[in-house]
Chains A and B, each alone.
Chain A
Amino acid sequence: MEGLFFNVNGGYVEGIVRGYRNSLLSGQNYSNLTQCETIDDVKLQLAPSYGDFLASLPPNPSTSDLASRMTDKLVAEFKYLFAQATGSSAKFLEYMTYGYMIDNIALLITGTLHERDTRELLERCHPLGWFETLPVLCVATNIEELYNSVLIETPLAAYFKGSLSHQDLDELNIEIVRNTLYKNYLEDFYNFINTHPDFSGTPTQDVMAEVLQFEADRRSINITLNSFGTELTKLERRKLYPEFGKLYPEGSLMLSRAEDVEGVALAVSAVADYKAFFDAVGLSQGSSGLGGMGGGPADGKSLEDMFYQKEMDLSKLVFTRQFTPAVVYAWMKLKEQEIRNVTWISECIAQNQKERIGNFISVF
């Protein structure tokens, strides 16, 4: 049934995204990229997918320039999709940008706290997290003003409400603010795709629920692992876990009590996927393998790599479903991973560290 009228509104967008998907770099492209000797070669190899955006780069561009041009292309494509989407699909795409908005707002809050000229911060903001009232944030000169008159007007106001007061903005570490917002955002997004009449009971709900659950679990696990050895208390830590996902509620509770990597491994052991990750990187035996990509264990994969790999697999699976805007989400994730991959490869080439060049995640 859901397929009957989907194409009336969402067909064009979905078609475009499936077209975009075909321009993603394949394993063949990646193996060509790893053979490159200079950044110019990389640029040449990327020409079929990114030609017009890379053309204006000077010879031997820096890695960050390359990455920012690739991001420009992603942004341009997404904006086109956003302009074409209507109704609930548009709302869905808007939700996707909230994540970037959180980063931008965290950036601006940091700037305001340190009384910097926020205008110059606007250039650093991620273009996807741009919203109309973002420049207004620059007007605020102190945190209270920012909270009372400016943040209320942003689309993120709902995420501030009830969990963060303006005193919190002043006192709490900006990372805690960011993660609280992100938690609220994920919960809201999850709620949106489960309850919105256009999405509940459709493939969108199926795939997005899985993707978001994974995202929530990943954040919980990462926050726990990264909080060891910092001043973050267990109580505060628990508040940052999104309240859904495969780990919720038992796993989250165990995570909040975990004191070391073994505790985390134990907490996630209920979920086969995560248990497999922890076993693969050897974290369940000892904490020595925390290193990750550096002196990493096993095949050089860190837990982060495993999570990225899993995210990519999920995103790839999304393309097997039809009549859903979830493909846009999946395409975004794939594209971001692709940019990270290319950045990694070009860093390796630029710094002459060829032995680790294969440490990227190729999907197709």
Chain B
Amino acid sequence: MSGAVGREAVFPTRQSLGLMKNKLKGAEIGHSLLKRKSEALTKRFRDITRRIDEAKQKMGRVMQIAAFSLAEVTYAVGGDIGYQIQESAKQARFRVRAKQENVSGVLLPTFESYTQEGVNDFGLTGLGKGGQQIQRCRETYARAVETLVELASLQTAFLILDEVIKVVNRRVNAIEHVIIPRTENTIKYINSELDELDREEFYRLKKVSGKKQRDVAAADAEILAARQKAAEEQAANPKAPAATAVPVQEEETVDVLGEQEDNDVIF
């Protein structure tokens, strides 16, 4: 496991352990939030897919009817009216308004169609003949365009959502499979390193105290030997005072933390 994701290059210190733990917590919160976002988006995405399907089928029907009504116009008028209509159109009657919709932080453009009342540029086309067919054809095509606008809005949302869902899922997966394991690994590593240091420290202290005890024991033995020798000497030469023993005692109990001059202390 640790080989696959590795760990971050940090010094195994207590500070970085704290950092890593925070990071892990953050990653877990982020993961659950992103997961929820992804689910919300996917739900929306499925909804849109279904609506696109419906809209496309509707478009098929509507466009067929519209094309046929144009055939009716051709029959009734007996000629091509396309050019005249193209030329007489000055203002758009059918307009599209773009809006934004917010789905879990993703801005989706939606198009809303509306007809500008009072704009009727070919009201008189087909006055001589075929006027009714032309009017009906125009209405049919207006409905067809409405369906197209709806479809366009859905398709745009579809593309954008698709992209966003991919990004979000990639993030979720990255957090789940890379960042969290790596952070955990790092924490494990830092912990093991710290334990190792603890153990080394403990061993060192143990070693130091062992040495100290040995030294103390040796010193004790020396003092003891010296005392015995002195006692023997006193026994042999009782005139000599016990003064020799006292300086030795004093030497032994020198206060380390005392205020006296130390040779190796520089400041």
Chain A residues within CB distance 8 Å of chain B = 63-64, 103, 106-107, 110-111, 113-114, 116, 121, 124, 126, 173-176, 178-179, 182, 218-219, 222-223, 225-227, 229-232, 240, 290-294, 302, 304, 336, 340, 343-344, 347-348, 351, 353, 356
Add 11 more A-B contacts to A230-B120, A231-B123 (CB < 8 A).
Answer: A63-B71, A111-B87, A175-B128, A176-B124, A218-B129, A222-B129, A222-B131, A227-B127, A230-B123, A230-B124, A293-B75
Taken together as a complex, chains A and B put the C-alpha atoms of A336 and B69 apart, in Å, by 20
Is A225 in contact with B124, judged by CB distance below 8 angstroms?
Answer: no
Given contacts A110-B83, A111-B87, A336-B78, contact A226 B126 (CB under 8 A): yes
Q: Which residues of A contact B64 (CB under 8 A)?
A: 351, 353
Given contacts A336-B78, A347-B71, A351-B67, contact A110 B127 (CB under 8 A): no
Is A304 in contact with B130, judged by CB distance below 8 angstroms?
Answer: yes
Given contacts A124-B80, A232-B124, contact A292 B68 (CB under 8 A): no
Is B133 interfacial (CB 8 A cutoff)? yes
Q: Which residues of A contact B133 (CB under 8 A)?
A: 292-293, 304
Taken together as a complex, chains A and B put the C-alpha atoms of A290 and B131 apart, in Å, by 11
Is B168 interfacial (CB 8 A cutoff)? no
Q: Which of A178, A223, A226, A304 has the most CB of B within 10 A?
A: A226
Q: Which residues of B contact A222 (CB under 8 A)?
A: 127-129, 131
Is A223 in contact with B128, judged by CB distance below 8 angstroms?
Answer: yes
Is A110 in contact with B87, judged by CB distance below 8 angstroms?
Answer: yes
A204 to chain B, nearest CB (A): 25
Is B105 interfacial (CB 8 A cutoff)? no
Is B42 interfacial (CB 8 A cutoff)? no
Contact residues of A: prevailing secondary structure: helix
Is B79 in contact with A351, judged by CB distance below 8 angstroms?
Answer: no
Taken together as a complex, chains A and B put the C-alpha atoms of A231 and B83 apart, in Å, by 22
Is A353 in contact with B68, judged by CB distance below 8 angstroms?
Answer: yes
CB proximity to A under 8 Å, residues B54-95: 64, 67-69, 71-72, 74-76, 78-80, 83-84, 87-88
B131 to chain A, nearest CB (A): 3
Taken together as a complex, chains A and B put the C-alpha atoms of A240 and B130 apart, in Å, by 16
Q: Which residues of A contact B72 (CB under 8 A)?
A: 292-294
Given contacts A103-B79, A347-B71, contact A302 B132 (CB under 8 A): yes
Taken together as a complex, chains A and B put the C-alpha atoms of A238 and B125 apart, in Å, by 17
B152 to chain A, nearest CB (A): 24
The 3 closest A-B pairs by CB, nearest first: A226-B131, A347-B71, A175-B124
Q: Which residues of A contact B83 (CB under 8 A)?
A: 107, 110, 121, 124
18 examples of A-B residue contacts, CB within 8 angstroms: A116-B87, A124-B80, A173-B124, A175-B128, A176-B127, A222-B129, A225-B132, A226-B126, A227-B127, A230-B120, A240-B127, A292-B76, A294-B69, A304-B132, A336-B78, A348-B71, A351-B68, A353-B64
Taken together as a complex, chains A and B put the C-alpha atoms of A336 and B132 apart, in Å, by 21
**Closest residue on chain A to residue B64 by CB atoms:** A351
Taken together as a complex, chains A and B put the C-alpha atoms of A179 and B129 apart, in Å, by 10
Is B127 in contact with A226, judged by CB distance below 8 angstroms?
Answer: yes
**Closest residue on chain A to residue B75 by CB atoms:** A344
Is B227 interfacial (CB 8 A cutoff)? no
Taken together as a complex, chains A and B put the C-alpha atoms of A103 and B126 apart, in Å, by 12
Given contacts A103-B79, A230-B124, A232-B124, contact A110 B84 (CB under 8 A): yes
Taken together as a complex, chains A and B put the C-alpha atoms of A64 and B79 apart, in Å, by 10
Is B136 interfacial (CB 8 A cutoff)? yes
How many pairs of residues, A versus B, come closer than 8 Å at their CB atoms? 102
Chain B residues within CB distance 8 Å of chain A = 64, 67-69, 71-72, 74-76, 78-80, 83-84, 87-88, 120, 123-133, 136
**Closest residue on chain B to residue A71 by CB atoms:** B79
Given contacts A292-B132, A292-B136, A293-B133, contact A126 B79 (CB under 8 A): yes
B128 to chain A, nearest CB (A): 6
Is A223 in contact with B78, judged by CB distance below 8 angstroms?
Answer: no
Is A174 in contact with B84, judged by CB distance below 8 angstroms?
Answer: yes
Q: Which residues of B contact A113 (CB under 8 A)?
A: 87
A72 to chain B, nearest CB (A): 15
Other-chain residue from B68, B75, B128, B132 in contact with A340 (beta carbon distance below 8 A)? B75
Taken together as a complex, chains A and B put the C-alpha atoms of A348 and B70 apart, in Å, by 11
Taken together as a complex, chains A and B put the C-alpha atoms of A293 and B130 apart, in Å, by 11
Taken together as a complex, chains A and B put the C-alpha atoms of A344 and B123 apart, in Å, by 25
A140 to chain B, nearest CB (A): 16
Q: Which residues of B contact A126 (CB under 8 A)?
A: 79
**Closest residue on chain A to residue B78 by CB atoms:** A340
A93 to chain B, nearest CB (A): 20
Q: Which of B72, B80, B132, B133 has the most CB of A within 10 A?
A: B132
Taken together as a complex, chains A and B put the C-alpha atoms of A302 and B195 apart, in Å, by 97
Taken together as a complex, chains A and B put the C-alpha atoms of A227 and B216 apart, in Å, by 126
Taken together as a complex, chains A and B put the C-alpha atoms of A343 and B70 apart, in Å, by 12
Q: Which residues of B contact A343 (CB under 8 A)?
A: 71, 74-75
Q: Which residues of B contact A64 (CB under 8 A)?
A: 80
Is B131 in contact with A225, judged by CB distance below 8 angstroms?
Answer: yes
**Closest residue on chain A to residue B72 by CB atoms:** A293
Q: Which residues of A contact B131 (CB under 8 A)?
A: 222, 225-226
Taken together as a complex, chains A and B put the C-alpha atoms of A272 and B129 apart, in Å, by 21
**Closest residue on chain B to residue A63 by CB atoms:** B71
Taken together as a complex, chains A and B put the C-alpha atoms of A168 and B74 apart, in Å, by 29
Q: Which residues of A contact B75 (CB under 8 A)?
A: 293, 340, 343-344, 347
Taken together as a complex, chains A and B put the C-alpha atoms of A329 and B127 apart, in Å, by 23
Other-chain residue from B78, B87, B125, B136 in contact with A291 (beta carbon distance below 8 A)? B136
Taken together as a complex, chains A and B put the C-alpha atoms of A111 and B72 apart, in Å, by 26
**Closest residue on chain A to residue B67 by CB atoms:** A351
Q: Which residues of B contact A229 (CB under 8 A)?
A: 123
Other-chain residue from B78, B128, B130 in contact with A179 (beta carbon distance below 8 A)? B128
Given contacts A110-B84, A116-B87, A124-B83, contact A351 B71 (CB under 8 A): yes
